[in-house]
Amino acid sequence: MHTSLMIQGTTSDAGKSILVAALCRILCRRGVAVAPFKPQNMALNSAVTSQQGEIGRAQALQAQAARIDPHTDMNPVLLKPSSDTRAQVIIHGQIAQDMEAVDYHHYKTRAMTAVMASWQRLKTRYDAVMIEGAGSPAEINLRDRDIANMGFAEAADVPVILIADIDRGGVFAQLTGTLALLSPSEQKRVKGFVINQFRGDMSLLMPGIHWLEKHTSKPVLGVLPYLHGLQLDAEDGIDLAQPESEQALFTVVVPVLPRIANHTDFDPLRAHPQVNLIFVGPDQPIPAADLILIPGSKNVRADTRWLKKTNWPKAIARHLRYGGKVMGICGGYQMLGEVIHDPNGIEDHAGSTEGLGLLPVATHLMADKTLRNVSGNLWAGQGRVSGYEIHCGISKYTAPAKPMIFLDDCRSDGCVSEDGLIAGTYLHGLFDSAAALTALLAWAGLANAQAIDRAALREQAIDRLADCVEQHLDLPTLFPRWWQK
């Protein structure tokens, strides 16, 4: 027997990703062999699997919740936008091609073949598969050739529950409106609703729930409370509401690039009690900082030009004059160099763009993407580090330079400036290791930094989430095979 359940949302960020993660952990704790699955994901936060393939960061988190290794079958189609109309299409973890949105719409028929192949393999290997939709199934302009929501649910014949975020407002309109825009067969496939992010008195919500159930003939299967301070890897968006820690001694500032990628690299800094992490959006003032971090980017040349059009170069120069530290990760490392060449138009129109000129590095963007998990030692023996590489560029020194990391496979990575104020690396996940985080904060100026274990914090957050969902969701109705009323 096989059990599948698809979580679809009334909007983006309705809670699909975290609910799938919670269900994976709940079933795993019951001894069920469970795996996550997202047919199509559009996100710039990604992870590398042991098969050297690329999947969405959220599916890697969900795999951890299920206590299994991430696999490319868990996210067979990944779209990584490089502009408002163009994206890199990744199939089974590898680049297929770059496409305009209109062209991809016609390509979906081929992509669906990859989706169903992965789905069949997961069904064979696991007792249960928890499936995450994308965006909303009510996006009627995208219904034709849909592979992300009801198009997949109908093809795979799986039940669906709809989740809506009450914190956004209009939750009953979200649910009834979404249901009304589905076809009769799709409406029948929806087995019930989940209301997410509720805070308040349940007695005030109950009249609305009773009306919703009567109006739609669908049950509300759970009302999930708002979980304050829950820190889990975001699928794509950045939470800019970041309250300062009362213990914060050290300020880290990150520019929100137009095509920022893998901003989850900085989650350990967000969680650190001594660190005040500030994401600075467009047109926001750049505050004084101890460390400036330049993040990854899906369009590094365009984002370099964007940085130059803002006050960032002047802010960085002033920051360095006062002895502050600067670090770039992946695309940010490339931006800190002297030049970025893209002769084949891999991410942008063909051409070259001058970098910020802070590191003696020149980068050539290439069609083949580097995907690998790595580990090594920070320069000057400052500590062990592990992470993963996801990049299309090769960076070479233009002058004798000091590597930032000496990798275990006898390669070196990154660069440190001669004065020791600037560093760059290709490694994502750099701060996840407690030893590496402490060493890098010490380099940046925070002496005696408190050691935090990101992996342990992530496990605690997953368990906290799972405990909450187990308490507030009607699991016997959803999974009668493993629960009895």
Pairing of strands 291-294, 325-329: parallel
The C-alpha atoms of residue 254 and residue 263 are separated, in whole angstroms, by 9
Contacts of 305 (CB under 8 A, 6+ apart): 353
What does the chain come to in residues? 485
Whether the Cβ atoms of residue 182 and residue 137 lie closer than 8 Å to each other: yes
Q: Which residues pair with 479 in a beta bridge?
A: none
The C-alpha atoms of residue 54 and residue 76 are separated, in whole angstroms, by 9
Strands (E), 264-311: 275-280, 291-294, 296-297
Which residues carry out catalysis?
330, 428
Long-range contacts of 88-93 (CB under 8 A, 24+ apart): 88/298, 90/54, 92/53, 92/118, 93/49, 93/51, 93/52, 93/53, 93/54, 93/55, 93/371
Cα 54 to Cα 70, 92, 108, 242, 363: the distances in Å are: 10, 8, 19, 29, 22
